Amino acid sequence: MTFAEKTRRLGVCYYPEHWPREWWADDAARMIAMGITQVRVGEFAWSRIEPESGRFDWTWLDEAIDVFDRAGLAIVLCTPTATPPKWLVDAMPDMIAIDAVGKPRRFGSRRHYCFSHEGYRRESRRITRAVAERYGRHRAVVAWQTDNEYGCHDTVLSWSPAALAAFRRWLSERYVDIDALNAAWGNVFWSMEYRSFDEIDLPNLTVTEANPAHVLDFRRFSSWQVKEFNREQCLILRESSPGRDLTHNFMGFVTDFDHHDLAEDLDVAAWDSYPLGFLEQFWFGDDDKHRYARQGHPDVSAFHHDLYRGVGRGRWWVMEQQPGPVNWARYNPAPLPGMVRLWSLEAFAHGAEVVSYFRWRQAPFAQEQMHAGLLRPDRVDDVAALEVRETAAALSHFAVDSSTTAEVALIFDYQAEWMTAIQPQGAGFSALRVCFEWYSALRQLGLDIDILPPAAELSGYRMIVVPCLPVIPDTLVDKLRAVEATVIYGPRTGSKTGQFSIPHNLPPGELQSLLPIKVVRVESLREGLVEPGADFSVSRWFEHVESALPPELRLHDGRGVLFRQGSHRYLAGMVDPGTLHKIFRQMASEVGVGIRDMPEGVRTRRFGKLRFVFNHCAESRSIDALLPKDAALLVGMRELDAAGVAAWIDDGIRK
Ligand code: GAL
């Protein structure tokens, strides 16, 4: 068992290079006093570690690490490759990425590199080795974070000469024969046939849309480059720093590379949780944006907790937790009092080993000077400091049984999101968004959910939902045939081959062996255009299905929307949320899964023997109906305050 698995703990992101040395020891002592036992250091510090090519200055970092160690803090060190210094960019100007319209993404902020540039890959290995050899066996170093937020600021896809050369190599290894590629992509269409791999360009700057198969392969290639970049660092870290956990801080709603794939080289998945920024920046309507402005959407953090638990094969952290207003969303309100505690406890209830705050102290300079920390720039505690202390006091609840078993498996695949982004067919159609909406509907019924890749083990779940999975991997159909669960597939599932074509037997392709239906036409519907049924409606997306099965739900005009054979169902459109609830409710009752109707804005999660309830509302909520009559609350009250958390021992028997 590693250090990480032994304890649930609080951490913080700290930048010794931002502060006078005389402050470090005091900061470390105050962290410990606050209940923080882990500190993350170094992810942007390359210019201070190596001020000039080959000249290293370790003195400050030696001293900082020593200060933390003496204070009793565990250290997560980072490779500093998200911020290559100026001297390096000047020495290798072509290491920067090029955007889709051909413009360079210059030095002056961060993430200014192209994953395909061989010179930068060498530099990444060199600096990783230097840091790992210096500190890899230090007793205080318990883990490593590779780089920082791969993909942040739209940096996975690079349209550079280095990317082009590497893409051609990747294609020639994958297809071997150019005719095989022409056939796979359907290049006979519009005379797009190539005579050799060297003729292939990146799929940008075309007159109209590029061939979707070409774009999909470019996205697969780009994802693989991120994985390879990360793997090279991991190999060095494993060698020079044995026994330490390797992690990376993934992001919210960022899908540009396959996290399941990359995480094969990690021990722990971590992610950066900024609930207020995410609500403001993503697809939510104005009502939600107002209602949850200071709390964040009640399902967004949980969605990522459940996703990253799967990405980390059970082990995951929150590496950066929002402590107050951020600086990067369109509007940046302050969290409601209590929310920092709620977000932290909710993460632990979903199985996080660590919740680490970003950042210790607000920086008075540069890009993020408007971003709150646990301390104000004048070193006085900011609002969140108190809530961190309260969270630390509640950690004992997570000390014992840490199982986070879920009743429902939700299948999410990164490639599905690439495919719907490449070919939305209706404005804004997104596989990720469909997954989120189904997840949210299941959570409103009080269900615990694991978000898993298609390759995951599925036995043991009683409900399996596949919201949108255009390509069905070979093994999945057999796996789904064998499970004892009730299963539902959503629109566009099975609609494509791996080469981005329509399956020869029409959608849902291989799924037809589980459910005899054929999707013969699809329609996307503009906002406001709805297809009515008796007590439900379909909007945004509708599929015309041919089948001898009598539909379980049909539109007024008789066309089927929900088809079922045995324990498998197919939903051929986007139905209103109430109808989605009804379908899930029915499925749950067929397999004996109990549901708990959540009051609006209230959510629940089981952790070991504890049942937690979280009130994401700005006003109090009664949770009486959720509590067994004789339950004694360990945390919180039956009338749960705004941003309140309650917990009781739940023996699993519904009363
Ligand atoms: C994260 C990033 C941090 C910091 C933070 C601000 O995306 O990893 O370095 O920029 O956002 O919210």
pLDDT at residue 397, rounded to an integer: 86
For residue 564, what are the β-bridge partners? 569
Distances (CA, A) of 11 to 14, 137, 292, 566: 10, 21, 26, 48
Cα gap 372→323, rounded to integer Å: 6
Neighbours of 211 (CB within 10 A): 18
pLDDT digits (tens, 9 = 90+) for 20-29: 999 999 999 9
Quote the mean pLDDT of the chain: 96
CA of residue 395 to ligand 1 center, whole Å: 25
pLDDT at residue 2, rounded to an integer: 47
- The identity of residue 605, as a single letter, is R
pLDDT at residue 399, rounded to an integer: 78
Atom of ligand 1 nearest to the CA of 328: 12
CA of residue 488 to ligand 1 center, whole Å: 37
Residues classed as catalytic? 149, 320
Which residues form the pocket of ligand 1, taking CB atoms under 6 Å from any ligand atom? 148-149, 152, 272, 274, 320, 326, 328, 358, 368, 371
CA of residue 384 to ligand 1 center, whole Å: 17
Contacts with 454 (C-beta within 8 Å, 6 or more apart), sequence order: 411, 413, 469, 472, 473, 476
pLDDT digits (tens, 9 = 90+) for 132-169: 999 999 999 999 999 999 999 999 999 999 999 999 99
pLDDT at residue 583, rounded to an integer: 98
Query: Closest residue (by CA) to atom 12 of ligand 1?
Result: 326
**pLDDT beneath 70: ranges in the chain:** 1-6, 400-401, 652-655
Query: Closest residue (by CA) to atom 6 of ligand 1?
Result: 326
pLDDT at residue 6, rounded to an integer: 53
pLDDT at residue 412, rounded to an integer: 98
CA of residue 79 to ligand 1 center, whole Å: 16
**Ligand 1, pocket-test mutation among 322, 327, 358, 367, most atoms within 8 A of CB:** 358
Query: Closest residue (by CA) to atom 2 of ligand 1?
Result: 149
pLDDT at residue 654, rounded to an integer: 46
Query: Closest residue (by CA) to atom 9 of ligand 1?
Result: 148
Residue 522, helix vs strand vs coil: strand
CA of residue 624 to ligand 1 center, whole Å: 39
In terms of C-beta distances under 8 Å and separation of at least 24 residues, what long-range contacts does 585-591 make, across chains too? 585/445, 587/463, 587/486, 587/488, 588/407, 588/445, 588/447, 588/463, 590/486, 591/462, 591/463, 591/485, 591/486
Cα gap 386→374, rounded to integer Å: 9
SS3 letters across 51-77: CECCECCCHHHHHHHHHHHHHCCEEEE
